Structure 1
Amino acid sequence: MSSEATRKPTLSVTSGLTRTAVLVRLEGELDVYALPVLREHMEPIWDLPPRPFLILDLGELRFCDSMGVNELLGVLQRCEARGTRLLLGGVQGVMARVLSITGLRHAFEVFARLDDALRLAVAKT
């Protein structure tokens, strides 16, 4: 068994609720090894009654591979099916580059600062 196959995920996920939004913070690396961590954390969120916004705080992501990007697209599709707007906050550095290189920058509502995404969610109440 290779060391790659036994690698532990290096992603931390936390979340909180506001009146209009669910805020999910991702810290570390969003890669194939981290997908189970993110999916497990999102399960109870999907069980909640839909809120107008789901905000993913990506400001502390150090890495995102193609599987991580694919998972973000899955979150977007799930949000659209629920009538929830997905906002990506803290998109700078690595994540800004990943979204630009993949051509997905315009598929998401992207904010360089988390505060700007939060402000939009609060303003729409």
Structure 2
Amino acid sequence: MSSEATGKPTLSVTSGLSRNAIIITLVGELDVYAVPVLKEHLHRIWDLPPKPFLIVDLGEVSFCDSMGMNELISIMQRCETRGTRLLLGGVHGVMARVLSITGLRHAFEVFARLDDALRMAVANT
């Protein structure tokens, strides 16, 4: 059941560390109900010392509304302030379409596979 139908977030957020990157994995719907869940998780990330890269794995995001896109833009702006490169990995299907429709495809560093984003981070160590 969608978060719109229940009024509850249907997004899980996990994160991990790589040599020079923090990796955040999103699974579910990135919508108005999920943004507070993501923001809460990000508060802990922002408290960490900056890494050269922040990779957001969007491969399992099944829906994204304007509030979800606004949060991705906020993440990008925060990364720029911290001197961190934001990479979006696993961008296909829904997320590829949303980024294309909104005209934001070229505002982000986008990779169709998470592995490609990880390789970029490792290559720039």
Q: TM-score band, normalised by the shorter chain?
A: over 0.9
What residue number does 1:78 align with?
78
Q: What does residue 109 of structure 2 align with?
A: 109
Stretches of structure 2 that go unaligned for 5 or more consecutive residues are none
Stretches (4+) displaced over 2 A: 3-6
Q: Which residue of 2 aligns with 1:45?
A: 45
Instruction: For residues 4-45 of structure 1, give each alpha carbon's deviation from its aligned partner in whole angstroms, at most 9, with x where no partner exists.
Output: 596110000000001200000000000000011000111110
CA distances 1:50-86 after superposition (whole Å, capped 9, x unpaired)? 1000000000000000000000000000000000000
| 1:31 alignment partner in structure 2 | 31
Q: Provide the rounded CA distance (Å) in 1 between the counterparts of 2:105 and 2:25.
A: 19
Provide the aligned C-alpha RMSD in A. 1.4
How many Å separate the matches in 2 of 1:97 and 1:4?
Answer: 20
CA–CA distance in structure 1, aligned partners of residues 64 and 92 of structure 2 = 12
For 1:26 and 1:124, locate their aligned partners in 2 and report how far apart those are by CA, in whole Å.
24
* Identical pairs, percent: 79
Q: TM-score, normalization: structure 2?
A: 0.95
Question: Structure 2: how far apart are the matches of 1:20 and 1:95?
Answer: 25
Q: Whole-Å Cα distance in 2 between the matches of residues 19 and 101 of structure 1?
A: 34
Which secondary structure does the structure 2 equivalent of 1:98 belong to? helix
Query: 5+ unaligned residues in a row in structure 1: which ranges?
Result: none
Give the match for residue 68 of structure 2.
Answer: 68
- Post-superposition Cα deviations, 1:73-125, rounded to whole Å, max 9, x if no partner, equal 00000000000000000000000000000000000000001000000111111
Deviation at 1:49, TM superposition (A): 0.7
Q: CA 1:4–1:87 in structure 2 vs 1: closer, same or farther (change >3 Å)?
A: closer
Residue number in structure 2 paired with 1:120: 120
